[in-house]
Chain A
Amino acid sequence: MRWVWEWVRVPAPTPPPDTIPRGLMQHRSARVRLSPGRVAEERFGWLFAAPAILYVLLVFVIPVFFLVYLTLFNWSAFEGPGAFVGTRVLRQAVNDRVYWSSLLTSAKFVLFAVPTTLILSLLAATACSRRSPLPLKGLLRVLYFLPVVTSLAATAYIWLWLFNPAYGLFNTILGKFGLAPVPWLTDVNTVLPSLAIMFVWVRLGFDMAIFTAGLEGIPEEFYEAATIDGAKPWQAFLKITLPLLNPQIVMVSIIEVIGALKTFDLPYLATHGGPLNASRTVVLHIFDTAFRYNELNKAGAAALIFFVLILVITLVQLRLTSRKVEY
């Protein structure tokens, strides 16, 4: 193997990495002679990034091509590829009313779940941050992080139990306070909020940890200056904390929106799309189309459309929310 390292590790005399002015290097079309060190960097870059590139090829590019193949040919799980059907299946998927209503359901779920998670985790992180006077912060952080580590497959059925309208724990507690029982997962109007509660439970600890990280990075001086100026705690929160946490807020909101749009386990395990398809989210619909109804080509088309949509949404989110944070 020595020759590999010899080749890649081009022996460089000790110049600094850049012997050529930056401007020239930024022109991709300019055929510049790169320094040996630069060449080594480039080759090592490819070498080290190769696992990642291979991974993306294997797990993303090839499956996407397969999805296109599924859609263009009538691919059946049992018999293999069928006739070439062109864009017929794609058009069918676009015209499918149930598909679009499932997209709407997913959107509604995102609206319920993501802002709640964001706000609650932000508040919890602030309450457990270094500056907060509350005791037992470390313990609380641990407790809130516990749901993140559990498997939804195990806990979903427990949640079904807790949410049971007749003998579930939540309605029993409500009854003790004299409140009317809530139908939770069994009513079309309350099923999405109930699933959102489960989502918050699973994700809160993780977002809280990220926000705590961001909070630690805000210099103490800002708050001291604010106190000297006579600002109240909530004013400090609005004017100092929130703007400076912007990178974290952006990152968390993007991650959570993607996660909520992609959500599959929750509706699959808890309600399987019911009651009356009120919780039939997109990925669940695609999955059912593929495996329960045995219509793989339609599922492939629906999946492609969904992927494009999610890509667009994420890009739009990035555009809208990128603000440079100046200290």
Chain B
Amino acid sequence: MSKRISRRDFLKVAVFVPAAMTVPALVGCAAPQQTEKSSGPQKLTLWNANTSNTGLMTVLKPMAEKWAASNNASVELTNIPYADHETKLLAAFSSRENAPDVFVVVAAYWAGALGIADPMPDKLAQRMDKEIVETLLPEYKIAGKWYSAPDGGTVWPGPELVYNPEDFQEVGLDPAKPPTTMSELLEYAKKLTKRDGSGAITRGGFAQRYDGALGLGIGTKFLPFLHSFGGRMYDPATGKSDGVSNSPEAIAALDFCTQFTLKEKVSSLAFGAPDAQFGQRQASMMFRESYMYGWLPNNYPKVKFMFAPIPKGTTDKNMGMHGLASWGPLVYKYSPRRDLAWDFLDKTFYTTEADLNQSMLGGFVPAFRSNWESKYVKDRTDYSVLQYSLTHADGIVYTHAKTNKLSDRFSLAVQEALLGKKTPKDALDQAAKDMEAILKA
């Protein structure tokens, strides 16, 4: 064999082996799911990351099928794991073709902060203006444009005080008179705490959320205190953190919280999540959102509970969800089927019946004004609290692009103070410096 022939033949072989390996790959291409050809019915994909909203699929699937039948299209509804939805969505968006057309996420973050959502068409937007409860506007209407509306599984209007009337009676407190100010909250908690012989808490007066994991957990749980003292995590209007995150109000709020865990020791940092604590009778009071109305009877049927507004600090304004928990469907702004997607949402998600049915299934609060007149809402035991929240909302929404990073850093400071590793002032001062750097970067 002469060298010349061998080189040519060698090249042939060098191509043959990789080609042989891509044959299975090409076979795979012939496999199902080729959707891009526009002949034939269009396919809409919806990804739901709000897996806590168990009613979404139950309610939406039949409606979606009806809509699909009358529109010569098909709709695919998929639940994606909440725990990694950011990864999955980011990967999908980076390869445009595989991105979903509609995705149910925290609207304020993905639409406002990340800017990946399509604004609503005008007609639908006008309908939203008329039909959605006003208090929700700052969460879903960003910079004057509507991007989304609540998906019927969102935890607005924000946290409420949930307390156990039996425990109140046990220690001589009147269940009809829950604490109305923050200092009262502390006093009540002191009375309600039960300890065992060694001084360890067996039943906390108040369940202070301690979450070693995602920042959003404890951030939201500190925010009620923060906002009732007039503080802010950062200033969304000016994008500043120095002076805001460590303002005297913020320090006062954090200081107050440390009373619960460190000084008076009425909150146990050893027990689990507040809702589990409350259900297990390991805590008598907690801040949790309105969906407890449905969740507690489902999971802890024996526990009695009542609702009250968040106690007043230096202001009586209530926090809403502050853009950190405002779930709703968004439309992908580069989707070739945007108009179809909006039509779908218009006819299915954004109808009063979808809204009401989802809420009823999970114990959530509906978003459409007309649904507030329904028996379901009027019969809720926290109806008066909801009304209070509606009229006392402070309307602040955190929509900076780096909200995740900022809230993680802020939560770190909160945790440090709650655990006694740093004084509130030190923790917040350092957090403010770091957050300022994040905001500037």
Residues of chain A whose beta carbon lies under 8 Å from any beta carbon of chain B? 3-4, 7-8, 10, 36, 39, 43, 46-47, 50-51, 54, 77-78, 80, 92, 164-167, 181, 183, 185-186, 188, 271-277, 287, 290-294
Closest to A92 in B: B441
Known: A4-B13, A54-B18, A277-B412. A272 touches B214 (CB 8 A): yes
A166 interface neighbour in B18, B90, B214, B271, Cβ under 8 Å: B271
Known: A271-B213, A291-B86, A291-B90. A43 touches B271 (CB 8 A): no
Distance of A294 Cα from B403 Cα, bound (Å): 11
Chain B nearest CB from A213 CB (Å) reads 33
Within 8 A of A (CB), among B352-399: none
Taken residue by residue from 109 to 130, chain B's Cβ proximity to chain A (1 for < 8 Å, 0 otherwise) reads as 0000011100000000000000
Known: A47-B17, A50-B17, A54-B21. A275 touches B270 (CB 8 A): no
Q: Is the beta-carbon distance between A275 and B415 smaller than 8 angstroms?
A: yes
Taken residue by residue from 1 to 41, chain B's Cβ proximity to chain A (1 for < 8 Å, 0 otherwise) reads as 10000100110111011100100000000000000000000
Q: How many A-B contacts are there with CB distance less than 8 Å?
A: 88
Distance of A255 Cα from B308 Cα, bound (Å): 56
Contacts of A272 in B (CB 8 A): 212-214
Contacts of B213 in A (CB 8 A): 271-274
Distance of A143 Cα from B363 Cα, bound (Å): 45
Chain B nearest CB from A141 CB (Å) reads 35
Whether B66 is near chain A, meaning CB under 8 Å from some CB there, is: no
Q: Is the beta-carbon distance between A294 and B90 smaller than 8 angstroms?
A: yes
Q: Is the beta-carbon distance between B419 and A275 smaller than 8 angstroms?
A: yes
Contacts of A291 in B (CB 8 A): 86-87, 90
**Additional A-B contacts beyond A10-B1, A271-B212, A272-B214 (11; CB < 8 A):** A7-B9, A7-B13, A43-B10, A47-B17, A50-B14, A50-B18, A77-B91, A77-B93, A166-B270, A274-B213, A276-B412
Whether B193 is near chain A, meaning CB under 8 Å from some CB there, is: no
Known: A51-B21, A276-B416, A291-B86. A4 touches B270 (CB 8 A): no
Q: Is the beta-carbon distance between A4 and B18 smaller than 8 angstroms?
A: no
Distance of A9 Cα from B243 Cα, bound (Å): 78
Contacts of A4 in B (CB 8 A): 12-13, 16
Whether B195 is near chain A, meaning CB under 8 Å from some CB there, is: no
Distance of A294 Cα from B282 Cα, bound (Å): 38
Q: Is the beta-carbon distance between B115 and A78 smaller than 8 angstroms?
A: yes
Distance of A272 Cα from B87 Cα, bound (Å): 14
Chain A nearest CB from B397 CB (Å) reads 19
Total number of B residues with any Cβ neighbor in A under 8 Å: 42
Which A-B residue pairs are the 6 nearest by beta carbons?
Answer: A274-B212, A166-B270, A272-B213, A50-B17, A165-B270, A77-B94
Closest to B218 in A: A274
Distance of A164 Cα from B272 Cα, bound (Å): 8
Whether B75 is near chain A, meaning CB under 8 Å from some CB there, is: no
Contacts of A164 in B (CB 8 A): 272
Distance of A274 Cα from B211 Cα, bound (Å): 9
Closest to B201 in A: A166
A-B contact pairs, 18 of them (CB 8 A): A7-B6, A7-B9, A50-B18, A77-B90, A77-B93, A78-B93, A78-B94, A78-B114, A78-B115, A78-B116, A167-B271, A271-B213, A274-B213, A275-B415, A276-B415, A276-B421, A277-B412, A287-B87
Chain B nearest CB from A85 CB (Å) reads 13
Whether B402 is near chain A, meaning CB under 8 Å from some CB there, is: yes
Distance of A39 Cα from B9 Cα, bound (Å): 14
Q: Is the beta-carbon distance between B114 and A294 smaller than 8 angstroms?
A: yes
Known: A7-B13, A165-B270. A186 touches B212 (CB 8 A): yes
Distance of A92 Cα from B441 Cα, bound (Å): 10
Q: Is the beta-carbon distance between A47 and B1 smaller than 8 angstroms?
A: no
Contacts of B281 in A (CB 8 A): none
Taken residue by residue from 70 to 96, chain B's Cβ proximity to chain A (1 for < 8 Å, 0 otherwise) reads as 000000000000000011001101100
Closest to A292 in B: B404
Contacts of B270 in A (CB 8 A): 165-166, 181, 183, 186
Closest to B96 in A: A80
Contacts of A181 in B (CB 8 A): 270
Within 8 A of A (CB), among B397-416: 401-402, 404-405, 408, 412, 415-416
Distance of A7 Cα from B16 Cα, bound (Å): 13
